[in-house]
């Protein structure tokens, strides 16, 4: 018995390390999806009756969400963005991929930058929904930032705040009022936030602030209206999307090895939102294991997290100054850290 206990003690770090490497979500969501994946009958039975409105559906995670919802046989998916042609391409792709799906796909144009469109877009979405009711609102629109705070203009900060925070809040409030969610006694909001919403990271000051505001607003709303409203805020790590190419300045995209696949992100999000035990996935973490480590450390050891984020921040700054790279790869970060004077800077701060 003693030898067996010793063997378990010796093997546990190895087993834990191997398991950790495989994780790309918090363990409860990872194993829930592993045992009951997206296309199971349990998930389909929930979504078959749901009318869903998804913003930011023209590319990236949004486009993958559309196809995942089609695969899961959602009753109806209304998709919005400012680029109608791209939305039409997404619909065509998803219908080709899942030709036997009964999901109805509808387009409602919406530009998050234009607040004058909000009331009309909500009215159009309700009008296009079967029976004039929307059950789930998925807020997925967003834009990115990848440069230092001192190089970011206030106009850029306002644009990030508008698209990432103000527009989703405005749209959700207008939908709940027009569609009388509180009077109906039920509603469900799923928000795409970011790992950056949980703590600081260099080159992302305004982006992180807008995503933190988004997360905190909807989680606060949840505490106020939990009797009838479901709110889930997905904390998503770096993902292979066009968000770097959509910037109006030159930034090199991180290597794919450090990024999530958008189809995998969509699969995990739909798994979380369709769970009967949705409270278990109130705040799903969907990111590579490096991102999970960031989240765990920020949650439980803020002092260590502060040191870690400043070290990573220094390494990312070096990369940005060299070739305008948005560095996320752990090995490259460690290499760049050797080029910085981080320890000297810490010593200087401590002696001033």
Residue % of the chain over a pLDDT of 70: 86
pLDDT at 347 over 50: no
pTM of the model: 0.90
Tokens 């913003």 appear where? 55
pLDDT at 170: 98
pLDDT at 291 over 70: yes
pLDDT at 254 over 80: no
pLDDT at 18 over 70: no
pLDDT digits (tens, 9 = 90+) for 128-168: 999 999 999 999 999 999 999 999 999 999 999 999 999 99
pLDDT at 127: 97
Both structure tokens of 110 = 């919406």
pLDDT at 175: 98
DSSP at 251: -
Residue % of the chain over a pLDDT of 90: 67
Which CATH number fits the domain that encloses residue 265?
3.40.50.720
pLDDT digits (tens, 9 = 90+) for 184-243: 999 999 999 999 999 888 999 999 999 999 999 999 999 999 999 999 999 999 999 988
pLDDT digits (tens, 9 = 90+) for 66-89: 999 999 999 999 999 999 999 999
Q: Are residues 280 and 310 in the same domain?
A: no
Continuous segment of H or E residues that includes residue 235: strand 229-236
Q: Are residues 195 and 322 in the same domain?
A: no
Helix crossing, 302-323 with 289-300: angle to 10°?
140
Q: Are residues 171 and 216 in the same domain?
A: yes
Q: Are residues 245 and 329 in the same domain?
A: no
pLDDT class of 348 with cuts at 50, 70, 90: very low
Contact between 33 and 271 (Cβ < 8 Å):
yes
- Average pLDDT over the chain reads 88
d(CA 265, CA 311): 28
Q: Are residues 322 and 183 in the same domain?
A: no
pLDDT class of 346 with cuts at 50, 70, 90: very low
Could you give phi then psi for residue 87, rounded to 5 degrees? Answer: -65, -40
Domain membership of residue 257 as a residue range: 24-288
Q: What is the CA radius of gyration of the chain?
A: 21
Q: Are residues 178 and 327 in the same domain?
A: no
pLDDT at 19: 61
């Amino acid at each position: 018995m003693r030898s067996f206990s010793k063997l378990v003690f010796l093997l546990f770090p190895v087993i834990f390390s191997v398991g950790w490497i495989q994780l790309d979500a918090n363990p409860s969501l990872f194993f829930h999806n592993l045992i009951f994946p997206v296309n199971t009958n349990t998930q389909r039975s929930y979504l078959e009756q749901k009318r869903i409105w998804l913003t930011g559906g023209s590319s990236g995670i949004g486009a993958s969400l559309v196809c995942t919802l089609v695969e899961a046989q959602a009753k109806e998916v209304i998709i919005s963005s400012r680029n109608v042609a791209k939305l039409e391409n997404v619909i065509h792709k998803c219908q080709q991929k899942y030709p036997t799906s009964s999901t109805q796909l509808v387009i409602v144009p919406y530009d998050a930058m234009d607040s004058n469109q909000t009331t009309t877009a909500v009215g159009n979405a309700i009008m296009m929904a079967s029976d004039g009711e929307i059950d789930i609102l998925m807020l997925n629109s967003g834009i990115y930032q990848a440069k230092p705070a001192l190089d970011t203009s206030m106009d850029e900060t306002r644009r990030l705040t508008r698209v990432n925070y103000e527009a989703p809040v405005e749209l959700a409030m207008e939908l709940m009022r027009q569609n009388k969610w509180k009077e109906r006694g039920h509603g469900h909001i799923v928000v795409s936030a970011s790992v950056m919403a949980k703590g600081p990271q260099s080159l992302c000051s305004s982006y992180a602030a807008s995503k933190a505001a988004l997360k905190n607003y909807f989680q606060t709303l949840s505490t106020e209206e939990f009797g009838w409203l479901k709110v889930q805020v997905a904390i998503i790590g770096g993902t292979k999307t066009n968000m770097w190419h959509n910037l109006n300045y030159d930034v090199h995209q991180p290597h794919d090895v450090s990024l999530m696949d958008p189809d995998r992100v969509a699969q995990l999000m739909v798994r979380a939102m369709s769970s009967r035990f949705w409270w278990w996935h109130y705040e799903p973490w969907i990111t590579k294991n490096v991102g999970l480590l960031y989240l765990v450390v920020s949650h439980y050891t803020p002092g260590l997290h502060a040191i870690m984020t400043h070290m990573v921040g220094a390494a990312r700054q070096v990369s940005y100054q060299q070739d305008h790279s948005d560095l996320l790869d752990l090995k490259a970060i460690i290499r760049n850290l050797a080029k910085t004077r981080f320890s000297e800077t810490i010593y200087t701060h401590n002696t001033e």
